[in-house]
Each structure stands twice: as structure tokens, then as C-alpha cells.
Chain A
């Protein structure tokens, strides 16, 4: 247990808050994956690469505008759009011709996309470590029960629920959202009433990837941005959608909370095996409920 902090009220609450803010990043990334899973029924393996590209793009954009607060906010807006553009091109150019194929082929296609995007990222940005400064108003920390808690994580705790509410409003209140949900349940019927299913798919795919890019951009001030961050996030995102219920947005939220909180408490209790705790939580959830916590759309 060496290296663990003394377990006090302050440590517990900080751990909980760190876990929650981690969960918010996970939720933003995973909700995108879950959305694509729900509508297209494809586990998008390239999702992690798009997250990584989001982080790299955020770094480039922030540097382009001088690295200050303006640069940061512009990066948060434009990095996801860059990612969305990449995914739109990939979808319209290649992916849309495969929808009639078996799911295994679709999965392997996204894997090919992951391999290509991973190397392209290396070619464009190189293998160096990069970091982004949070804007001045989000730097430093506030005191919670006498322990410091970074302001940026507080910002994440606000953004995460905002994204969740936005997604919820979008999918229940707007026509496009309703069409996408309908396509998730019965694609043929949606086509039969005269809606271009191919474009619904394109839209869902791009929206999902946009969320991956947003997650990457948002996480970039808290970690060092580097090649290889795609591999870890995609496994975590897969686990989360599996325990949450495939294609269910609130499932993604529940899964992210479970994952983020067990991860940060793992760090508190047993730092060396912190990585194992969330996986164990996943196994426990799946033993009790093999199809995930909430109802899957499948």
C-alpha cells in the first residue's frame, strides 16, 4: 500500500471528484462511440484515433493562436470540427459503400481506419510529447476540505453534464435526433418512409466522431498528448459501452461513472494495480447483468 495517501475525508472527496471529472471525459468520448453503435451497429475501432487527433489538433490550433486563452477556446471549438471533417471524408469516400456488408467487415474497416489514422498522426505531428496550457481562468486550484483540486477538473465537471443534456435534448427533441433513434431501431422502416438512410448514417457517424474529437480536445490540458493514447481510450470506451448497454447514452454515462470512480479509488487504494480496478468492476457488472446496466437499443 506504499505510495497511497492517508485516507481522510479530504482525500476521499478529492478522489471522488477526480474520478468524476475523469468520468466526464470518458462520457464525452464514449457517448460518441455509443451513438455510432446504436445507429450504425458498428463498434468504431477508429474512435480512439479520432480522440487522439482531436488532442493533437487542439494543440496545433492553440499554438497557432499564441497558446493563450483565446487559442485554447478556439482549439476547443475547431479541433472537434477538424475531426468531424476527417470522419465525414472517410465516411462518404469509403465507409458508406460497405453498409450492406457483414458487420465483421465494417468492424475491420474501422480497424483499417485506425491503423491509417494512427500512422498519419505520427507523420503529421511526430512522436513527441506535447502539452497545452489551460486558459488563465482555469489554471490553479481551489481548496476542498483543505486539499487542492484543479480548477480545470471543475470545468470538466460542468462540461460533461452539459454535453449529456445537449445530446439528450438533441435525440429526443429534434427531428434529426428522432430519425437517428428510429434508424437505430428499424433502419428499413426509416428508409421506407422516404428518408435517406445513408445520410442518417453519415450524420450519426460524424456526430459520434465529433464527440471523440471534443473529448480529445478537452483532455489535452490534463495529460501529455502523444502517439499511443488512442489504444488505451478505445478499450476503456468499449468496456464502458458494454457495461452501460450498447447504444444507450445514459448507459454510457453510468458506465463512465463506474469506470472513472473505480479508477481514481484504485489509485488511492493500490496505485500499482489501479488499472485493474475498473476492469474488475466491469467483470462484476457483466457477471450480474451480461447485457449491461441499462437497456441496449439492439
Chain B
């Protein structure tokens, strides 16, 4: 009953936020519109990672690669071919999911840290190719000024496009997590042995999760191209992957919307602190250490725990009596 109450409340809150964001372009300056769009893209990326890390406890250490593959696929198709835009936009996520499947097949045979290390290795291979293949990818310069279809070429247009795609993806992710598929995933996180014993193919289930998560990562990559109009190899670099992980950690691993909050905080801090000092990564490092020491369950996780503590304590006390 209590969780039902929270669900209704959070549904109301998210609906209100969505409405505010819909009318935001009418009163916010252009720079902030762009800035919000960047947050949306990053939030989707962090959410897609959290499907693996938070809900599946898979050590997806190099999620940035799939973001990059989505962005590169869409960007290259738009810049180098005359195919209609929607083909590029669909091809991006599909390519990312395919890369996720390929890398996943290798990684899924291994456990935990080995899984993560192997993923970093294989992801770096893709990074190396994108970094060096000047003729196709523009090498370390990347490609800038990618032509966009008219309806999303303006800041407001791309803002709405990103917002709507983000909304759809969030609803899809929510439905996936609430479905039997999502429950099974969380069960494989909490007790893989027992899941295997009741006949769940744990590895296959995790592989499916990786493909889904990388698909959404690819969507985020396409949205990045929509917002920035450029692609460059840093999108595929492993430092970005770990940054996304910080976002998930900051917002709260085991909550649904935590990564959105984490992404919003990190992107805002990076933008505003970045105008005052060039030593942003130093500050990010300090934030991360504080997080690890003081609120390892993330901001939202912390709130939830506070909220539930009184109730659960009451429940256990009344049980023992």
C-alpha cells in the first residue's frame, strides 16, 4: 500500500516535470534549452547503463562504446550518404544493439570483474578503429557540422525531439523493468544460483538485458548527434563510460529515476564549474570519493531508505512482538 502511494506520488511528480519541460522553451533563454537537451541525452545514457548495472548487477564497464557506436552510425549515415534521416536514426540504435550483442556474447561467459575488463578491452578495439580510420571517421578530429533535417535543426526543435524520445524511452524502460522480464532480471541480480535452479537461463537473460541496454545507449548516441551535430572519438573512450557510472551511483543504483538525477547534477556541475576552473576532473574525483564514503546508495536511494526506515522498523518490531 505504501509503495503504491509512492508510485502514485512519483507518477504525479514526473507528469508535472514533463509538463514544465514541455513549456520550458517559451520562457527559457536559448542557451538553457540547449543545456537541458544535453542533460536529457546524458540522462538517457545513464538510464540505459543502469539497466545493466543497477538492475542486473552486470559490470558494464564500457557502456560509452555503444553510445558512440549509435552516434557514429547515425552521424556517418547523415554526413556521408544521402539516405533519409529516419534510416540513420533507426540504424544508430540497431548498430549499437548489434555491437552490444557481439561484445556481450564474448563477455557473458565470464564473471563480474572479468566481464568488465573484457568489455573494456573489446570496446577499446572499437575506439581504436574510430580513432585511426581517418578516411571514414575523421580520426581524432571527428566530424562536425553534420546536416540535420529541418524540423530538428533549430535548438527548440532538437529540444522537443530529444525530450519526446527521452519520454518514450523512459516509459519503455519502466515497462520493461515492471514486466516479468525485469523481475527476472532483478532476481538474477539478487540470487543467480537460485534463478538457475528454477530453470532460468541466467546468462541468456543477461545477454538480452545487455542488448536492450545497448539499444537505448544507441538511442542516446543518436540524440547526441541531434543536439551537438558532431561526432568524435571521445564518445567511445572508456573515461566517459566511468563517468556515466558515477552518474548512476550519484543518483542511486537501485532506484528507477536515480540516474536521471545523477546525470542532471553531473552535467550541471561540469558546465558551471567548468566556466570557473579548468580542473573539473579534480572536483569530480573529490565528489566521487565523498559519494563512496558517505552516500554509496546515491541521493535517491538515500531518500528512499530514510522514507522506508520508519515503516520497516515498525513492521519488524511488530513482527517480533
Q: Which residue of chain A has the shortest Cβ distance to B249 in the bound complex?
A: A108
Indicate whether A238 reaches chain B with its CB closer than 8 angstroms. yes
| Beta-carbon contact of B285 and A283 below 8 Å | no
Neighbour of A112 across the interface among B113, B121, B131, B285, CB < 8 A: B285
Neighbour of A108 across the interface among B113, B237, B246, CB < 8 A: B246
| Beta-carbon contact of B289 and A94 below 8 Å | yes
Binds A, one of B122-130, B161-169, B306-314: B122-130
| Beta-carbon contact of B128 and A119 below 8 Å | no
Indicate whether B175 reaches chain A with its CB closer than 8 angstroms. no
Binds A, one of B145-153, B206-214, B265-273, B276-284: B276-284
| Beta-carbon contact of B118 and A276 below 8 Å | no
Neighbour of B117 across the interface among A43, A118, A119, A280, CB < 8 A: A43
Indicate whether B195 reaches chain A with its CB closer than 8 angstroms. no
Q: Which residue of chain A has the shortest Cβ distance to B120 in the bound complex?
A: A238
Instruction: Name B200-259 residues within 8 Å CB distance of A.
Output: 237-239, 242, 245-246, 249
Binds B, one of A23-31, A186-194, A239-247: A239-247
Q: From residue B115, how far is it (CB to closest CB) to chain A in Å?
A: 10
| Beta-carbon contact of A239 and B239 below 8 Å | no
| Beta-carbon contact of B296 and A272 below 8 Å | no
Neighbour of B292 across the interface among A112, A239, A275, CB < 8 A: A112
| Beta-carbon contact of B122 and A283 below 8 Å | yes
Q: Which residue of chain A has the shortest Cβ distance to B131 in the bound complex?
A: A275
Q: From residue A121, how far is it (CB to closest CB) to chain B in Å?
A: 10
Q: From residue B110, how far is it (CB to closest CB) to chain A in Å?
A: 6
Fill in one digit per residue for A272-298: 1 if any B CB lies within 8 Å of its CB, else 0.
110110011011001100110000101
| Beta-carbon contact of A104 and B59 below 8 Å | yes
| Beta-carbon contact of B117 and A246 below 8 Å | yes
Q: In the complex the two chains form, what is the Cα distance from A98 to B292 in whole Å?
A: 9
Knowing A112-B289, A276-B129, A290-B106 are in contact, say whether A235-B282 is a contact too (CB < 8 A): no
Q: Which residue of chain A has the shortest Cβ distance to B281 in the bound complex?
A: A115
Indicate whether A122 reaches chain B with its CB closer than 8 angstroms. yes
Neighbour of B132 across the interface among A241, A272, A283, CB < 8 A: A272
Fill in one digit per residue for B128-140: 1 if any A CB lies within 8 Å of its CB, else 0.
1101111000000
Residues of A in contact, count (CB < 8 Å): 46
Q: Which residue of chain A has the shortest Cβ distance to B237 in the bound complex?
A: A231
**Residues in A whose Cβ lies below 8 Å from that of B131:** 275
Indicate whether A116 reaches chain B with its CB closer than 8 angstroms. yes
Q: In the complex the two chains form, what is the Cα distance from A246 to B128 in whole Å?
A: 23
| Beta-carbon contact of B296 and A291 below 8 Å | no
Indicate whether B293 reaches chain A with its CB closer than 8 angstroms. yes
Knowing A41-B113, A287-B106 are in contact, say whether A101-B288 is a contact too (CB < 8 A): no
Indicate whether A114 reaches chain B with its CB closer than 8 angstroms. yes
Chain B interface size band reads: 35 or more
| Beta-carbon contact of A119 and B118 below 8 Å | no
Neighbour of B286 across the interface among A98, A109, A116, A118, CB < 8 A: A116
Q: In the complex the two chains form, what is the Cα distance from A41 to B53 in whole Å?
A: 19
Q: Which residue of chain A has the shortest Cβ distance to B239 in the bound complex?
A: A231
Indicate whether B112 reaches chain A with its CB closer than 8 angstroms. yes
| Beta-carbon contact of A242 and B282 below 8 Å | no
Indicate whether A105 reaches chain B with its CB closer than 8 angstroms. yes
| Beta-carbon contact of B128 and A275 below 8 Å | yes
Indicate whether B114 reaches chain A with its CB closer than 8 angstroms. yes
**Residues in B whose Cβ lies below 8 Å from that of A246:** 113-114, 117
Q: From residue B56, how far is it (CB to closest CB) to chain A in Å?
A: 13
| Beta-carbon contact of B245 and A280 below 8 Å | no
Fill in one digit per residue for B34-75: 1 if any A CB lies within 8 Å of its CB, else 0.
000000000000000000010000010100000000000000
Q: Which residue of chain B has the shortest Cβ distance to A46 in the bound complex?
A: B285
Indicate whether A97 reaches chain B with its CB closer than 8 angstroms. yes
Q: In the complex the two chains form, what is the Cα distance from A161 to B108 in whole Å?
A: 35
Knowing A111-B288, A242-B121, A290-B109 are in contact, say whether A116-B282 is a contact too (CB < 8 A): yes
**Residues in B whose Cβ lies below 8 Å from that of A105:** 292, 296
Indicate whether A158 reaches chain B with its CB closer than 8 angstroms. no
The 6 A-B pairs with the shortest beta carbon distances in the complex, nearest first, are: A115-B285, A119-B282, A116-B285, A112-B288, A279-B125, A112-B285
Residues of B within 8 A of A (CB): 53, 59, 61, 106, 109-110, 112-114, 116-118, 120-122, 124-125, 128-129, 131-134, 237-239, 242, 245-246, 249, 279, 281-282, 284-286, 288-289, 292-293, 296
10 more contacts with CB within 8 A, not counting A112-B286, A115-B284, are A43-B113, A104-B53, A107-B61, A107-B113, A116-B282, A239-B121, A242-B114, A242-B118, A272-B132, A290-B110
Sample of 17 A–B contacts (CB below 8 Å): A43-B113, A101-B296, A105-B292, A107-B116, A108-B288, A108-B292, A112-B288, A114-B285, A115-B281, A116-B281, A118-B281, A123-B279, A242-B121, A275-B128, A276-B132, A286-B121, A290-B110
Residues of A within 8 A of B (CB): 41, 43, 45, 94, 97-98, 101, 103-105, 107-109, 111-116, 118-120, 122-123, 231, 235, 238-239, 241-243, 246, 272-273, 275-276, 279-280, 282-283, 286-287, 290-291, 296, 298
